[in-house]
Structure 1
Amino acid sequence: SDQIPLNRLKVDYVLCYKYKKRRASKPRLSVTSNGSLPVPIPMPITGRWDSEAESGEAGAPAGDMEESKLSEEEKALMREEFESGLLEAGLQLERDKENEAKGQITGFIRLHIPWPILSREAELQKIKVAVKKKCELRKRTGTAGAWDSLVTKVNTPFQPDVPDFDVHKDSQTNLHFKTLKHPFIRDKLHLYDINSTETVFDNATRSRIVAEIISRTTCRHSCQTTGINSLLARGVYISAYPLHDGSFTRRGRRDQRNDRQLLHEEWANYGVMHKYQPVDLIRKYFGEQIGLYFAWLGVYTQLLIPPSVLGIIVFLYGIFTVDTNVPSQETCDDNLNITMCPLCDGVCDYWHLSTVCSLARASYLFDNGATVFFAIFMSLWAAWFLEHWKRRQMCLKYSWDLTSLEDEEEEMRPEYEEALQEKKAKVKAMSKKKVYKYIYLHVYLLQIHVSSLQH
């Protein structure tokens, strides 16, 4: 058999779908992580699945029919063609069935990318891999070195406790070396620092490569569509996702934490909110796009500290000087007995200015003489923030090797594309009806004209 049981391989991606159950089956375990959970008995994918093929007779329940107008038989055909395309692309698939809920069975399909396909896609996408050659990192000496040491000591409490995977320390010479990386080439494996083909690429990279493959796989016979997103929009699959690296809670030693546990303890935790974000680890686990987003969010939050401090100072200045403000004193002085004109005609009466004393004092707290300087500062701060983020973004793009990449155009959402196709079909049907009406009217008038000529 060409199907290798995936309980001995990494699960790089999971596809999830629902179909109508026709006969009883034993409940199976859920696919939740790449950890040490027990793995269900594999079921080979050969031809059509019996229980799913029979589902075309019964049809979907009302709830699913509202989500998608496709029948269960059409969904099964589209799934079969799509999964055949994945097999042709070189992925290995294993199908697993889940427990029942209201007559529906949730099925899981595990995807694994073998080394030949993984290495080919990595070479095409020019993914960088560490080479055997290292670069020695030398510390600056003199005044610059002393300044670097001082800055490092000051920033140490604010740095996340995350190991630097690109910097290694030699235990014998106490020298620091930086790992050099080069785009992956299959024919030059001897140049790379590779111990095993299973550990060359981390789980996030493997999942991104599989996501690229399933996003370009087409279904031409059952439906004219490309990619998993279109199938998700049509309800053929209900979800498609990669797996996490096991549980986020640490059970072993501190130096045995995986990336997910590191992110949970050093990032997604209120106890470390005073520390900088581990943007390199976020990028490694979630990808460049999410890494850049959180990097921008961190820069924005960090640079909001000066305006916040200055705003508090301006507010305190208003509190301390509100009693010396002449307009507020005159407004709140009952002895002046300033009477104001009615606010409206006919119904409203005259009123005293002292009745708005609290409003005048509250307005002065946020609108005093220091507010002018705060407004000038904010206009300069906006330009400072923009230039600072541009500099930070270029540094991240250089360190993450994104300088040669161009911004991709935003693709049309599959949900919107599906709704647009339905609307086009309705408009086309209405236009056909109008054409038929015009044809009938023309024929009817022609008959009347011919009959009038005969008489």
Structure 2
Amino acid sequence: FKLRKRRAYESNLICDGLQLEATRSVLDDKLVFVKVHAPWEVLCTYAEIMHIKLPLKPNDLKTRSSAFGNFNWFTKVLQVDESIIKPEQEFFTAPFEKSRMNDFYIQDRDTFFNPATRSRIVYFILSRIKYQITDNVKKFGINKLVSSGIYKAAFPLHDCNFSTPSKDLSCPNERYLLYREWAHPRSIYKKQPLDLIR
């Protein structure tokens, strides 16, 4: 019964354009992780359906000088260390439309949709795909499947542990940077680096 629902759900996910990758746990043979990948076309389609605002072009407007201009030393204390956490680039944005794709600031398809937006789109799909139709009643969504025990859990993947630095200096552990430079209690007063938090 559970297997039938799981297969129907996964089949419908594939029909909707998602790619599934099953990986058996190294600690428990009975546990299988199903990784869900959203290809470019699916991301674009759902970004349009969900009216997600995405970058059109970099913001070239000058920012107004702060009212705290005379207190430069004070505002500097509130900033994160820009040599460690790069400042966010600001963009003009608009709700995404596939017909206007050339108007959007797409330098690289792999990074155009940030991890938070990808997770949001995939969760939107997972929560709306049906897994059973009985007497014209549709049952759908990952939340119902998890609550009924068909899946153990559903969550977006994270980088490695937040409390250990990356061994590869060319590829820093962003969660560690956030913990050290922003989320640590001694840094509670600092400005939020929203790109990294997302």
Q: Which amino acid aligns with 2:52?
A: I
Distance 1:132 1:85 in 2: 36
Counting only pairs closer than 5 Å after superposition, residues 51-90 of structure 1 correspond to structure 2 as 74-90=1-17
Aligned match of 2:152: 238
Structure 2: distance between partners of 1:75 and 1:157:
55
Alpha-carbon spacing, 1:228–1:258, altered in 2? closer, same or farther (3 Å): same
The structural deviation recorded for 1:160 is 2.9
TM-score computed with the length of structure 2 as normaliser? 0.82
Larger deviation: 224-233 or 125-134?
125-134
Query: Which residue in 2 is equivalent to 1:154?
Result: 74
**What is the DSSP-based 3-state SS (H/G/I as helix, E as strand, rest coil) of the residue aligned with 1:220?**
strand
| 1:276 has 2:196 as partner | no
Q: Which amino acid aligns with 2:92?
A: L
Distance of 1:180 and 1:239 partners within structure 2: 37
CA distance in 2, matches of 1:134, 1:157: 25
Counterpart contact for 1:130–1:192, Cα < 8 Å: yes
Choose between structure 1 and 2 for higher RCO, CA contacts under 8 A separated by at least 6 residues. 2
- Cα 1:133–1:157 shift into 2, 3 Å: closer
Q: 1:196 to 1:243 in 2, by over 3 A?
A: same
The 2-side partners of 1:224 and 1:206 are apart by 26
Query: Structure 2 unaligned runs (5+)?
Result: none
Distance, in Å, in 2 between the alignment partners of 1:263 and 1:155 is 20
CA RMSD, Structure 1 to Structure 2 (Å):
2.7
Q: Does structure 1 retain, via aligned residues, the 8 Å contact 2:88–2:193?
A: no
1:184 paired to 2:104: no
Return the match for 1:117 from 42, 45, 64: 42
Higher helix share: 1
- Write the deviation string for residues 67-88 of structure 1: whole angstroms up to 9, x where unpaired: xxxxxxx111111011011111
Percent identity at matched positions?
Answer: 30
Q: Does 1:262 align with 2:181?
A: no
How far apart, CA to CA, are the structure 1 residues paired with 2:58 and 2:180?
Answer: 33
Structure-1 residue corresponding to 2:87: 164
Ranges in structure 1 where 5+ consecutive residues have no aligned partner: 1-73, 168-178, 286-455
Q: Counterparts in 2 of 1:380-395, with a 5 A limit? A: none
Instruction: Give the C-alpha shift of residue 105 in structure 1.
Output: 0.6
Shift of 1:247: 4.6
Give distance in 2, aligned partners of 1:124 and 1:259: 30
- In structure 2, do the counterparts of structure 1 residues 75 and 277 end up closer, same or farther at CA, with 3 Å as the change threshold? farther
Deviations 1:7-41 (A, max 9, x none): xxxxxxxxxxxxxxxxxxxxxxxxxxxxxxxxxxx
Per-residue deviation, 1:186: 1.5
Aligned residues: 191
Q: Which of the two has higher C-alpha Rg?
A: 1
Question: Residue 159 of structure 1: CA displacement?
Answer: 2.8
Q: 1:342-421 counterparts in 2 under 5 A? A: none
Superposition TM-score, scaled by structure 1 size: 0.38
**Alignment check: 8 A CA contact 1:159 1:276 kept:** yes
